[in-house]
Amino acid sequence: MLADRRLWLMIGFGFASGLPLLLSGFTLRYWLSEGGVSLKLIGLTAEIGLAYSLKFLWSPVFDNGAPGFLRGLGRRRGWLMAVQPLLTLSCLLMVLASPAQPALLIAFAAILAFCSASQDTIIDAWRIETFPQARQGTALAGYVWGYRAAMLISGSGAIALVSHLGWHGVFATMAALTLVGPVVTLLAREPKQDATVVHMLADHVSFAQRFARSVIEPLQEFLTRRGAVVILLFIVLFRLGEALAGTMLVPLYRHLGFDRVQVAVANGPISLAAVLIGALLGGWLVARIGTGRALLITGCFQTLCMFMYVLLSYSAGQHHILTATAVVESFAEGLADAAFLTYLSSLCSLAHTATQYALLSSIAALASRTVGGLSGFMVPALGWHGFYIMTALATLPSIAVMVYLLRHYPPERRDIDGRVG
């Protein structure tokens, strides 16, 4: 019964994490595109998400004790209750700007991304510390369910609501929905801390010792592992093609003549169902055949599905192709995410969960937050067809590195008590 309750909470935390993501990404780009902002500037909004790639720089703060006034909630819940109200406030700030002031709107979106990335770090730590390794796939499937449901609301749902509420009304509504996060936090239980963590947080441990323990040791411990460089290379490459393709989707939709309603329908409930089914199947595959083989199968499938974007680029005005692309890509993402995120979780030491997972998930998002920003310059040079062919081919290096990685450095399995073997 307790496990079922924790899974429901995991779905709630997934919702809290997924809601802000598109508000500083896809939905923001749609608003900017309708406001006549240039293609190059829209492409550069990918850099807003650098907070998701750089969160490991401040994540060690969350491995220390909670802020004094929230210490009674515990380390994870205390920090969540400190960050989540700021996230709601940053979302409300976006109501004060518009595409007529793109710099101000993008600045507020960057603040939102910073708060969202911080929340993600703490939720990831709560998940890894709450669920044993054997149940991480199931926990991640629940997380993805909540995450994708929230993305449906803040993506296609928000776009559909613009006709009724206007862009400012939509962002005010999204700000209200972010309050789900604090509610889930109050309902959750604080994970148990092992003896090492308790000692690190003790009052007699100096700041220098805490810094060394929470910053230097986690990074040093990971970087000295066998295959660390290959692991990091794979994580960087895994989402490269998707990062390039996704950044330019809004301008592509408008270039092909699709309106708000068509985009909202294509990325609506059917796509949500596809990603949830994909996540459920991905979690089942992890439990059934192991993280390594599940990662290989789902990664190869996602690579094949990238060619749907190429087909879409040749399909001006064909709504059924738009819907098929959105559904297939959503299923492939959900399938691959369950295995990929389980793999990242398996790499983390329980003593340094927040720092190491933040580092790994940050690196995973690095391509979309850096190279993805250049997509607005690539499209004029390559054309829409050439650009999406290039994004599909960009996934192939990750498959080659994955095969090498799984052959020479297979993922370790952690027992329920946290031991690796």
User: Residue 136 above 80 pLDDT?
Assistant: no
244 contacts 394 by C-beta, under 8 angstroms: yes
The contacts of residue 22 (CB under 8 Å, 6+ apart) are 28, 151, 154, 155, 158
For the chain, give the number of residues: 421
Say what percent of the chain tops pLDDT 70. Answer: 88
Beta-bridge partner residues of 420 = 414
Residues near 122 by beta carbon (within 8 Å), at least 6 away in sequence: 62, 76, 79, 80, 83, 354
Least confident of 29-38, 130-139, 248-257, 285-294: 130-139
Q: CA torsion sign, 155 to 158 to 160 to 166?
A: negative
Of 43-47, 218-222, 349-353, which gets the smallest average pLDDT?
349-353
Flag whether pLDDT at 196 surpasses 60: no
Distance between CA atoms of residues 153 and 398, nearest Å:
31
Find the helix packing angle between 319-346 and 269-289, rounded to 10°: 30
Write down the domain spans for the chain. Answer: 2-408
* Residues with Cβ within 8 Å of residue 179, at least 6 apart in sequence: 88
Say if residue 197's pLDDT is above 70.
no
Rounded to whole angstroms, the Cα distance separating 314 from 318 reads 9
pLDDT band at residue 419, thresholds of 50, 70 and 90?
very low
More confident residue, 341 or 165: 165
Write out the two tokens for 230.
């290959």
Q: Kindly indicate the confidence band of residue 415, based on its pLDDT and cuts at 50, 70 and 90.
A: very low
Residues 160-180: what's their mean pLDDT?
A: 93
pLDDT at 413 over 60: no
For residue 246, pLDDT over 90 is answered with: no
Model confidence at 207, pLDDT cuts 50, 70, 90, reads: low
**Residue 213: what pLDDT?**
67
Provide the 8-state DSSP code for 420: B
Q: CB atoms < 10 A from the CB of 288, how many?
A: 11
Residue 173: pLDDT over 90: yes
pTM over 0.85: no
Binned at pLDDT 50, 70 and 90, residue 420 comes out as: very low
pLDDT reported for residue 214: 63
DSSP state of 395: T
pLDDT at 1: 40
Rounded to whole angstroms, how far apart are CA atoms 288 and 309?
Answer: 31
User: Which of the given ranges, 158-167, 188-197, 342-351, 372-381, has the highest pLDDT on average?
Assistant: 158-167
CATH fold for domain 2-408 = Growth Hormone; Chain: A; (1.20.1250)
392: three-class secondary structure by DSSP = helix
Whole-angstrom distance, CA of residue 421 vs CA of residue 264: 46
Mean pLDDT value across the chain: 82
Average pLDDT over residues 267-272: 82
